[in-house]
Amino acid sequence: MSLLLDTHVLLWLLAGEKGRFGPKTLEAMRERPAVVSAATVWEIAIKRGLGKLRAPPDLVETVVAAGLQLLSITALHAEQVAELPDLHRDPFDRILVSQARVESLTVVTTDAAIGRYEVVALDPAS
């Protein structure tokens, strides 16, 4: 099962903040492919444009150079959002949950609300 990195996890990884990751997560990242959703790239682009966070201006190239895979948002991913219970209001997180369900991915996140959905979630500190 591949790992789907939430936005904050991706930014930590790209910044080299290995201390934020526990042994279980580091092992999972060595053994399984990690993917980055187009929704995460979109969220970072919006927040970077608003001055709310720092991220590489060439984010897609940086993600690919780091050996991570990109995951497009499909019509099926978008449609499946309607099937989710209203546990989380953030549309970026809701599409991540939908992608994780459709693609059988483990979401690496500190967001406890994501773990309340029927997805496998991994706390990066574990």
Annotated domain spans of the chain: 3-122
pLDDT of 86:
85
Separation between Cα atoms, residue 21 and residue 92, nearest integer Å: 22
Cβ count near 126 (within 10 Å) = 12
Q: How many CA atoms lie within 13 A of 41 on its CB side?
A: 18
So what's the pLDDT on residue 1?
A: 84
* pLDDT reported for residue 39: 98
- Residue 70 has what pLDDT? 98
Tell me the mean pLDDT in the region 73-79. 97
According to CATH, the superfamily of the domain at 3-122 is 5'-nuclease (3.40.50.1010)
* Beta bridge mates, 37: 71
Tokens at residue 126, please? Answer: 């574990």
Q: What is the pTM of this model?
A: 0.94
- pLDDT of 12-60, one tens digit each? 999 999 899 999 999 999 999 999 999 999 999 999 999 999 899 899 9
| Phi, psi angle pair for 16, to nearest 5° | 75, 25
The whole-number pLDDT of residue 22 equals 97
pLDDT at residue 6, rounded to an integer: 97
Which one, of 52, 49, 3, 42, lies nearest residue 24 by Cα?
3
Which amino acid type is present at position 106? T
State percent of the chain over pLDDT 90.
90
Res 89 pLDDT > 90: no
Distance CA 93, CA 98 (A): 9
In the β-sheet with 106-108, what is the strand arrangement from edge to edge? 69-71, 34-37, 3-5, 106-108, 120-122
Kindly state the average pLDDT of the residues 80-100.
92
